[in-house]
Amino acid sequence: MATSSSFRFPVVSPCSEPERFSQIVEAVARSQNIFIVCGESLSREAGLPPIENPVDENFSSGITRKSLRTLLRECSLSVVSPEMVDQRSLASVNAAMASRRRAARTAQMGAFADLLASFAVRGNITGYLTSSIDGLESRVMPNLEDRIFRLNGDNRKLLCGRNRCLGIEPGDSTLYDEALLGAPTTVQTTGHLSVYCNDCRSKWIKTAISKRRYGDKTLVLRPAVQFELDAEYWKDEVKSKMLPRAELSQLLLIVENPIKPRSLIDDVVSDLADAVHKMSGAVIYVSLDLTKGKATYTHIDAQLQTTAADLALGVMEAHHRLDNPRNQLGDEEYVGPDFWFDVIRNQLVGTSHEEDEDVVGEICERCSMSVPEYLVQCRACKSCFCHRRVCYNDSWDGDLDSGDGSMPQDRPPDDDPFPFHTACIAFDLYSSSGRRPRLEEAKRNFLCYDCWDRTANGLYPHYVSPIPRLRDQPAGTQPPRMIFVLFYAEQFWPVASHLLAMVAARWANKGWACKTYPVKIEHISEQKPVFDDLAWERASYVALIAYLTHGLSGDRGYQVAPRSSLPPTEFLDLSLGVVDRALRNAREARAIMVCCGGPLQHSGFVQQLAEWLNRPDRRLESLLCAMNTRLSPAYMVTLIAKISTTLVDPDPDASETLFRLWISDTLAASHTNVLYLAREAEPTMWLYAPFQSRPLGKALPNIMSACSCPGLSPGEYRLRRRQGSRKTWDVNHNGRDGQLLQDVVVYAMCSICGQSWPLLSDYFSGRLRKYAGVFAAVVPYFFAPTSGAVV
C-alpha cells in the first residue's frame, strides 16, 4: 500500500493494488448510511468552468481580467460594506454568475451524478456537504434538500445587501438573468446598477434611508455566494444539523474536496469524522492528488487514488453485483453494521527493528541503562547501578523535602525520560534508622548488595528491583537477526495483527534486529517481492514463515481466495515465491502452518509435502503444521513467538527443541496435535496425551455410554451419585519418558463401580514422551502394521 511522505493514512491505487481497491469500493457499495463531503465534482462533470477562471472587468481605462473567485471576494459583504462595493466589479460578477446559472440548468450530468441519484433512491444518503456553488445536487437529489449543506452558498439564489433580505428563490431567479447578463453594459452607460430586490425596496422607500447618498446600492441583487465563511455560524450548523446525521452514518465519503490543514472545512470534516468513527464507521478520501504538507489528517482512514467518475462506475458495478447474489465474487463476511472496522484494519503493515548498539562507557549492571546522571558506583567493586529516589509520601504532590535534611529533593521533571519506578536501586527505602540522607551523601556511601556486609550492618537498606532484561548475547558476537513473513487470510487479520506485534515486541525486548512483513493471501498475485533490498549479509539471519488461512477437508488444500484453494505444495510455491531471494540468503528457514488440519488428513498431500521439502531447490528446513480440523489460530500465537526467539542459532536437534516448546505451551498443546516435517526425516505426529483424558494420544470414550455399572443395583448407584461421587475415568499406567507405546500398559476404571478395561497398545507405533510433566505420543505418520488393529 503506497503512502505519501507528508501524511500517514494509506493511499490505495487501482493500478498498484487492484484487489484492495476493489474491496474498498465494494465496501462503499455495501454501506447503507453515507455522509458525503464533496467539492466541485458535479460542476466539473457538467462542464462548468472553474471559479478560478478569469472574468472581464470593465473600467474606463480598459478591460482587466480577474478570477471569478477574486471578484466574489472583493464584492463580499463581509469584506466591504454594500455602499462601497464597486459597481463595475459587481456588474462583472452578476454577469458571470448569471451565465453560469443558465449553463447549470441545462448541463449534462455525468457518472458521479448517477451515483448520487442511485444513493438517493436507495435511501443511503444521510447528509451532503458541498463547497460547490452551482446547486447541481438539487437536480440529482430533489427530495433531499433538507440534507444538503452548502458551505459557500447557492448561485441559484439572489440577495441584496440588506441584513434581513429573504432573497430571490432559485425558481424565480431566472426572471433576473437577462438583466444581470447586461449589467456591465448598463454600468458603462448609466454608471450604476438598477437590478433591485423588490421586496426590500418597498420597505426601504418607507424609511428615511432614502436620504442617504448611497442607500440604493444596498438593494442591488447579487448571487448568494460567500467565500468568507463565518466560523461561529458553521460551528452551530455542524453541531445542530450535521453531527446528528453523521452519527447515523457508516461512512464519511470525501470526494475531491481539497483538504487544507487548520481551515474551517478541515475542522468541520474532522468533527464529522469523529461522529462516524463512534459508530465504527470509516472515513474515505477520494482524489487523484496526494495531499501536501506535514499535516497527518488522522481522521482519514484511507485514500482512493481515483476520480469521482471512476469511483462512481466502480460502485455502481458493485451495486449491480450485490443486487444479483449469483454474481457475487466478494467477501460475504463483511455484512454487519460495523463491517468497515474490519475492512479498514485488515491491511497490516510490517515492522523493522535494528539491533541495539553496544554502549561504550558505564552502564547499569542489571538493566544496561546508560544515562550518567542516574548511575551510582559501588565504592567497593566499582560496579554501576541506576538509581532514583522514592519519597516517604507516595503521592505526586507530597513533600519531597522535610526541611531538616532528611529527605532530598528529587522530583523528576515532566519530560524526564527515566522515571523513578524503572530504576534498579532506590536509596535507603529500608533504612533501619528511618533516616534518608541527602542524595549526594547516599551516592558517596553506596555499596552494592554483593559488597554489603550483612553480618556487621544488618539487612540491605536499599530497594533492589527485579532484573528487567537479561543480556544473553556474549560480547563481541553477532546478535541474532530474523525476517518474519506472515501470510494471512483476510478473516484472520485480528490474530495476524496480534502475532506481528508479539513477535516484534519479543525481539525488540532482547535488543535483536527483526523485520516483519504481512502478506494478505487474497492479494498475493499483486504482491511485489518482499525483502529483495535487504542489506543484511548472506547467512547472517534466519527466516520464519507463518500461515494463517483455512485448511479445507478432502482434496481441496488451503484457501487462497474466498472461492479458490490450492494443494499444499502449490500453495507453498505460490507464497514462498514472494520471499524467494530472502530465503536463499538466510542461514536457515522454517515455516509454521497455523491452519485447520483438513489437508493433513489426506495422506497423499502429506507425502507430497515430504517430497517437496527434500527437493534441493527448497530452502525450508522444517514445516510445523497444526492438525486440529477446527483450530482457532489464537491459541498458537504464543508458541510462534517463542519459536521465533528460540531457534536463532544453529541447532542440530531442532526437532527436540520444537517439541519441547510445543508440549510446554499449555494453550497450543491442549488445542491441537501437530505434524512435523523436516529434511531427510519421515513425517511425524506429536499427539497431546494426558493419561486422564487422552492416553497414548487417543481420547477416552464417554464414560456414561461406555460403563453402565452393571454390578450395582439401581438404588446403590443412585446413592453413590447422591453422595457426591462424580462418575469419571480413573486411569492407571506404567508409562515413562521414551517408552515404546506398545509397551505401555493402561487401565481405565470407572470411579463409581470400579470396573476396569485394558487399553490395547500392542499394535501402536511410536514412543511416549514426557516433558514438563506433560505426556505426548510421538507417532510416525506413515507406518506398516504387522497385522490387526492400528492406532
For the segment 28-57, what is each residue's pLDDT rounded down to a tens digit? 999 999 999 998 899 999 999 888 888 877
What was the pLDDT predicted at 476?
Answer: 60
pLDDT confidence of residue 395: 39
Task: Give the C-alpha separation, 82 to 75, whole Å.
Answer: 8
How far from each other are the two terminal CA atoms of the chain, in whole angstroms?
49
How much is the pLDDT for 790?
42
Between 39 and 466, name the one with better pLDDT: 39
Question: pLDDT at residue 511 above 60?
Answer: yes
* Region 665-672 average pLDDT: 92
pLDDT confidence band for 331 (50 / 70 / 90): very low
**Residue 680 carries which DSSP code?**
T
For the chain, what is the mean pLDDT? 84
pLDDT at residue 373, rounded to an integer: 83
The upper half-sphere exposure of residue 526, i.e. CA atoms within 13 Å in the direction of its Cβ, equals 15
C-alpha closest to that of 163 among 82, 244, 267, 71: 82
Residue 413 is predicted with a pLDDT of 55
Residue 719 has pLDDT above 90, yes or no: no
Cα separation of 133 and 148, whole Å? 12
pLDDT at 546 over 90: yes
What mean pLDDT do residues 587-599 have? 93
Report which of residues 183 and 588 the model is more confident about.
Answer: 588
Tell me if 104 sits within 8 A of 46, measured CB to CB. Answer: yes
> What does the alpha-carbon distance between residue 295 and residue 291 come to, in Å, rounded to a whole number?
9
Retrieve residue 74's grid coordinates.
472583493
pLDDT digits (tens, 9 = 90+) for 278-287: 888 999 999 9
Count of beta carbons in the 10 Å neighbourhood of residue 702: 9
pLDDT reading at 356 higher than 80: no
Residue type, 117: A
pLDDT tens for 94-153 read 888 999 999 998 899 999 999 999 999 999 999 999 989 899 999 999 999 999 999 888
- Phi, psi angle pair for 630, to nearest 5°: -130, 55
**Contacts of 273 by beta carbon, 8 Å cutoff, 6+ apart:** 252, 283, 299, 300
Asked if residue 211 has pLDDT above 50, the reply is: no
Q: Is the confidence at residue 740, as pLDDT, over 90?
A: yes
Contact 559, 549 (CB under 8 A): yes
Interval 657-679 mean pLDDT: 94
Helix (H) or strand (E) segment spanning residue 732:
strand 729-733
Write b or e for each residue in 64-94: b if 16 or more Cβ atoms lie within 10 A of its Cβ, otherwise e. Answer: eebebbbbbbbbbbeeeebeebebbbbbbbb
- pLDDT of 244-271, one tens digit each? 999 999 999 999 887 777 778 888 888 9
What pLDDT sits at residue 593?
Answer: 95
Contact predicate 363/382, CB 8 Å = no
Tell me if the pTM is above 0.95.
no
Question: Which is more confident, 397 or 761?
Answer: 761
The b-or-e profile of 252-283 (16+ CB within 10 A means b, else e) is bbbbbbebeeeeebbebbebbbebbbebebbb
What percent of the chain shows pLDDT beyond 90?
Answer: 40
Question: What pLDDT does 785 receive?
Answer: 56
Q: Tell me the one-letter amino acid at 315.
A: V
Give dist(CA 575, CA 737) in Å, integer.
39
DSSP one-letter string for 227-291: SS--HHHHHHHIIIIIHHHHTT-SEEEEES----TTSHHHHHHHHHHHHHHHTT-EEEEE-SSPP
Query: In angstroms, what CA-CA distances link 591 with 136, 234, 548?
Result: 58, 57, 11
Return the minimum-mean-pLDDT range out of 378-392, 505-519, 561-575.
378-392
Helix (H) or strand (E) holding 675: strand 674-678
Higher pLDDT, 600 or 210: 600
Side-chain half-sphere of 365: how many Cα atoms within 13 Å?
Answer: 13
pLDDT category at 326 given cuts 50, 70, 90 is: low
CA angle 353, 356, 357 (to 5 degrees): 135
Q: How many CB atoms lie within 10 A of CB 587?
A: 15
CA distance 212 to 750: 111
Structural domains for the chain: 11-32+250-344 (no CATH), 48-108+155-225 (no CATH), 359-468 (no CATH), 481-685 (3.40.50), 695-780 (no CATH)
pLDDT tens sequence across 397-441 = 444 444 444 444 455 555 555 665 678 888 888 877 767 777 788
For residues 338-361, average pLDDT: 77
State how beta strands 513-520 and 351-353 pair.
antiparallel
Cell numbers found for residue 537? 549479509
C-alpha cell at 26: 465494494
Q: For 221-246, how does the pLDDT look when each residue is reduced to its tens digit (9 = 90+)?
A: 888 888 877 777 778 888 888 999 99
Q: Which of 125, 105, 83, 100 is nearest to 225 (CA)?
A: 100
Q: Is pLDDT of 656 > 90? A: yes
% helix, strand, coil for the chain, step of 5: 35, 20, 45
333: pLDDT confidence band, cut at 50, 70 and 90? low
Exposed, middle or buried by CB within 10 Å (0-12, 13-18, 19+), for 304?
buried
| Arithmetic mean of pLDDT, 76-89 | 82
Cβ atoms 775, 689 nearer than 8 A: yes
Residues 563 and 597: beta-carbon distance below 8 Å: no
- pLDDT above 80 for 191: no
Q: Are strands 302-304 and 11-12 parallel, antiparallel or unpaired?
A: parallel
Backbone angles phi, psi at 138, to 5 degrees: -70, -30
Query: Which run of H or of E encompasses 548?
Result: strand 542-548
Tell whether the model's pLDDT for residue 735 goes beyond 70: yes
67/56 Cα distance (integer angstroms): 9
Percent of the chain at pLDDT > 70 equals 87
pLDDT value of residue 25: 94
Average pLDDT over residues 301-317: 93
| Per-residue model confidence (pLDDT) at position 110 | 92
Output the CA torsion 783→784→788→789 (10° steps): 10
- Any idea what the Cα angle at residue 598 is, between residues 596 and 599, rounded to 5°? 110
pLDDT at residue 578 greater than cutoff 50: yes
CA–CA distance, 405 with 393 (Å, rounded to integer): 16
The confidence score (pLDDT) of residue 279 equals 83
Residue 733 to residues 440, 690, 736: CA-CA distances in angstroms? 67, 11, 9
Does the pLDDT of residue 209 top 80, yes or no?
no
